Amino acid sequence: DTEVTQTPKHLVMGMTNKKSLKCEQHMGHRAMYWYKQKAKKPPELMFVYSYEKLSINESVPSRFSPECPNSSLLNLHLHALQPEDSALYLCASSTPRLAGELTDTQYFGPGTRLTVL
């Protein structure tokens, strides 16, 4: 299985709602990532989990709360979002580092298109 799945594909939420995005992979990858991508822009890194521990938080507002319950799952909890948070949210995972070789090739899911009203 070489796939990263993301649910839901589309999400529309109000500014007072609480919702969650889900990401799953069964490739044995031990690093998982959340990116945010606005139209015609490159993906921007939000969070990285390595071995289920938060490794990188790119100064993301607290209304985004990541969670890595196990090595296959990554969640992004959303609360009190703003319209400017509307974007494509991408999840990715990467291979464990091999001895002497750092690749960090990332495998991406199809994304969740989020619209905040």
What lies within 8 Å, CB to CB, of 77 at 6+ separation is 18, 19, 20, 64, 65, 66, 67
Q: Which stretch binds other proteins (CB under 8 A): 14-22, 35-43, 66-74, 76-84?
A: 35-43
For other proteins, the closer of residues 48 and 80 by Cβ is: 48
* Nearest distance in Å: CB 16, other proteins: 27
Q: Which stretch binds other proteins (CB under 8 A): 11-19, 45-53, 61-69, 77-85?
A: 45-53
Check binding of 66 to other proteins (CB under 8 A).
Answer: no
Q: Per the structure block, which two tokens stand in for 9? A: 């594909």
* Nearest distance in Å: CB 64, other proteins: 17
3-state secondary structure of 85: helix
The residue type of 21 is L
| Separation CA 28–CA 44 (nearest Å) | 24
Task: Specify the residue for token string 């991408």.
Answer: 90
For other proteins, the closer of residues 4 and 21 by Cβ is: 4
Contact 116, 15 (CB under 8 A): yes
Residues that bind other proteins (CB under 8 A): 4, 6, 31, 33, 40-43, 45, 48, 50, 55-56, 88, 90, 92, 94, 102-111, 113
